[in-house]
Amino acid sequence: MTAPFDPSPSDDPIELFARWFREAEDAGLPLPESMALSTATADGVPSSRMVLLKAFGPEGFCFFTNYESRKSRELMANPRAALLFHWAVLERQVRIEGRVERVSDEESFAYYRTRDRGSRIGAWASRQSRPLPDREVLENRVAEFESRFPGDEVPLPPHWGGYRVVPERIELWQGRPSRLHDRCVFVRDGSAWRMERLYP
């Protein structure tokens, strides 16, 4: 049986998330860093997709993408987002909501250079979210950029980089028997966090 989740109002929700994330990794879950990212247009039409968490800390939660993608266009028009982690085996969810900002070019490049060469070429070749006539067009673009950048040094594309979700609300959800789940939400209050429990 899962132990009750009983945080203190003085706890830091980022540190609690870090502990849960380590436990998801230690449990051997596939892609514990996968998260649903929800954005919305300027007039509030939502969309969601799965992305990968690549860094997190007191400043926020980072992911990387094409700045010309649908998600990026929506974030430009409405710079707020929601993240959802779901670790089913551990009966845990984490919901994060907040404003969104671009990370620096230095941060984007530091992550970009850790990707394998094929993924770096792909960042140049993909016109993410735009119509693709057929697969051959994409393969031809990959070949074009492989020829343009023959060595391992593939520069950072100007249309590619990271975003940081700066959290204003973090909810940690722990499954319990009879659907009487533990739900604790932390809401940003100036430089501190305010905690309250929610009914399941």
Supply angle C-alpha 179, 185, 186, rounded to 5: 165
- DSSP-derived letter for residue 91 is T
* CB-based contact 187:194 (threshold 8 Å): yes
131 exposure class (CB count in 10 Å sphere: 0-12, 13-18, 19+): exposed
The answer to whether 75 and 81 have CB atoms below 8 angstroms apart is yes
Q: How far is residue 66's CA from residue 129's CA, in Å, rounded to a whole number?
A: 9
Exactly one of 49, 127, 179, 194 is catalytic; name it.
179
Residues 6+ apart with CB under 8 A from 198: 171, 183, 184, 185
Q: What is the SS3 assignment for 161?
A: strand
The rounded distance, in Å, linking the Cα atoms of 18 and 26 is: 12
95 is catalytic: no
Q: Give the active site residues.
A: 179
